Amino acid sequence: MTGGPVLVVNAGSSSIKLAVFEGGAVRLSGLAEGIGGTGRLRLGAQRWEMPLPDHATALPALLAALSAEGLPLGTLRAAAHRVVHGGAITAPARITPETLTTIRAAIPLAPLHNPHSLAAIETLARLAPDLPQTASFDTAFHATNPEVATRYALPSRITARGIRRYGFHGISFAALTESLPRLSGAALPARLLALHLGNGASLCAIRDGRSVATTMGYSPLSGLTMGTRAGEIDGNAVLRLAEEDGIAATRHLLNHDSGLKGLSGGLSDMRTLMETDTAKSRFAIEHFCYWAVRQAGSLIAAMGGVDALAFTGGIGENAAPVRARIVEGLGWLGARLDPAANAAGAARLHAAGTALAIWIVPAAEESRIAADALALLDAR
């Protein structure tokens, strides 16, 4: 990466993450969390609290702290954003009125994410109108999925309303395909099963570097058991809940009170669950691993086999017992861990002599977003 610092902005539902990239490395990173109340801010080694009623307050507070560290907006080459849903946009893009219209139109598809990305983009445009802005989209990597994988079995008039499988975590999966060859010293495996496991979790079948299937669908709710999201659930069960409890309550239940949290009785963090030796916590972890293994089989079938597994994300990179349980469940493929390597969190996890390679690939979404921004600017 060359050409001056790039500010990467990742706006979540109650947080904003910042990272300044220069020369291919992170120069400074920061975080605002607890947005909507008494917030907490971090920039480098600094920590402080202040009221953060909304994103429009939190972002300027972080930017003021950046300026105090010698990085005012005028020194930046660009601001690059993570946007969860790109709708019809299938590649990184410069922020233009047309791009904003598309992101705004995708709000019904990602109501918990896109509004906050828009708020960050619009705040920066107000504070620094001449600063170029770009967006990288979590849905874009999955644009290569065949229609048979993306279309629900619904009439065309319904599909035309945008009801289809999109897939998410695409920035993470795209970064993984670039990082793994550098890590392994070999070409990207032809059939790679990537496991992004964190509070949000999904799997991706990557054939010849291209996504061909993924576990998330119309929204980030479907697929695996997650921190607070239910994952796979029958549509008629959702309809019954909506009829009995109301749509708003059902939406909150499925997105915020289900998954590991619902199964364990309130714990959504995998580290805490592993430290809490109760029947409920053990079952929640087993549920998480069972559905990862079960859906892995589906994605392996979509690729016609598998040559390697790659774990990424907070759980994928740090929870050795979870990795061990998932690999054990895929033992019929010939998957076999080196126990010492797994316990140490080594990059190479597979045992000597095993045919199926297994890796940990550190998540590098921010780096990928910064690289996307510079590629767009250099292309101009």
Kind plus residue range of the DSSP H or E element containing 254: helix 247-256
Q: In the chain, helix, strand, coil percent, each to 5? A: 45, 20, 35
CA distance 244 to 239: 9
Options 138, 245, 338, 378, the catalytic residue: 138
Instruction: Give me the phi and psi of 268, to 5 degrees please.
Output: -110, -10
The answer to whether 115 and 107 have CB atoms below 8 angstroms apart is yes
Task: Read off the amino acid at residue 2.
Answer: T
Active site residue 138: yes
Kind plus residue range of the DSSP H or E element containing 329: helix 320-329
Cα 100 to chain centroid, rounded: 21
The answer to whether 189 and 308 have CB atoms below 8 angstroms apart is yes
Q: Which residues are catalytic?
A: 138
